[in-house]
Amino acid sequence: MGTNADELRMDIERTRSELGETLDAIGDRVSPGRMIERRKNRMSYGLQSLRERVMGTTYDARHAVEERVHAVGEAPDAVRRQTQGAPVMAGALAFGVGFLVAAAFPPSATERQAGATLLDKVEPLKDELTSTGKEMAEHLKEPAREAANEVKDAAKQSAQAVTDTAKSSAPETTGSAIRSENY
């Protein structure tokens, strides 16, 4: 019976300990201070998660800026290669470069300096694109005028053909109308 009593005491102590932990956990769970703390932590984590999903992490931002700065350094040559003979593409790329510049560089001292560097690199590209656009517009003016004149001439010819057809059909129509009245 001695060993059974010792076993029972140890079993009671273990149960008492587990019961104490359970009561502590229940007390922690229903404590207003702990409830507020848990909700605050959940909100904080949720907002941080949302912010990272929307804005990215600082690691992502740093690498994105580094990649954009590198891409901007190579941009003039790439734009020149891609836009030869494609003025719409040149305009779209110019818009894209402007958008990237606006989106990639929020105002901080380092970023303002990077923006100034970027503007120095983009300025020759802007001038080149402007002159290319003006040149393309000059080259397209005459073909556009010729095309407009051709359309106008074709419209006049079509109108004349319709008029001629109507005039040639008029006596036949008038005669058939008279004939049907006689019946």
Express each pLDDT in 112-143 by its tens digit: 777 778 778 777 777 887 888 788 778 778 87
Same domain, 21 and 94: no
Asked whether residue 50 is domain-assigned, the answer is yes
**Backbone angle region of 57, left / alpha / beta, with phi > 0 → left and psi within -120 to 50 → alpha:** beta
Helix 58-83 to helix 87-104 angle, to the nearest 10 degrees?
160
Entry pTM? 0.27
Give the pLDDT band (50/70/90) at residue 145: confident
Residues spanned by the domain of 26: 1-55
Say what the pLDDT of residue 174 is: 53
Closest by Cα among 4, 129, 11 to 76: 129
Give the pLDDT band (50/70/90) at residue 13: very high
Domain boundary among 25, 55, 85: 55
Q: What is the pLDDT of residues 86-118, one digit of tens each?
A: 677 667 777 777 777 777 656 667 767 777 787
Average pLDDT for 27-56: 80
Domain boundary among 55, 71, 99: 55
Asked whether residue 100 is domain-assigned, the answer is yes
Say what the pLDDT of residue 25 is: 83
Give the pLDDT band (50/70/90) at residue 178: low
The letter for the amino acid at 134 is: K
Q: Alpha carbon of 145 to those of 141, 151, 154: distances in Å?
A: 6, 10, 14
Side-chain-side CA neighbours of residue 46 (13 Å): 6
The letter for the amino acid at 142 is: E
Give the pLDDT band (50/70/90) at residue 155: confident
Same domain, 42 and 65: no
